[in-house]
Amino acid sequence: MSCNAKTRSGGLCQKHPLVGKVRCRLHGGLSPSGELHWNYRHGNCTKESRRKLAEGSAYIKLLGELAIYLGLIEPKR
Ligand SMILES: [Zn+2]
């Protein structure tokens, strides 16, 4: 696997990325990600929290369907 950042000559960077990163040291591999990044604010907009949010609402939807199935609540019309 290589860095694959677009270079000024139009090609893709063929250097190896830093360990645990997708880019080489010249193409952003040195900058920290997540909480360590200097633009990090609250973490509510990270890929991880969005995935958790989606999982949460899917779970609530499932609970609602279960409640309807068991006759606990009326289905919406
Ligand atoms: Zn590179």
Amino acid at site 13: C
| Tokens of residue 18, six digits | 């830093």
How deeply is 28 buried, as exposed, middle or buried, from its count of CB atoms within 10 A (0-12, 13-18, 19+)?
Answer: middle
What gap in Å lies between CA 32 and CA 38, rounded to an integer?
8
Residue-range domain boundaries for the chain: 1-31, 43-69
Question: What pTM, to 2 d.p., does this model score?
Answer: 0.45
Q: Please, are residues 14 and 27 in contact by the beta-carbon 8 Å criterion?
A: no
Cα-to-centroid distance, 22 and ligand 1 (Å): 9
Distance 37 CA to ligand 1 centre (A): 19
Q: What is the pLDDT of residues 36-57, one digit of tens each?
A: 888 888 877 788 788 888 999 9
pLDDT in tens, 55-73: 999 999 999 999 999 999 8
10 C-alpha to ligand 1 centroid (Å)? 13
Residues with CB under 5 A from ligand 1 (ion): 3, 5, 13, 15, 24, 27
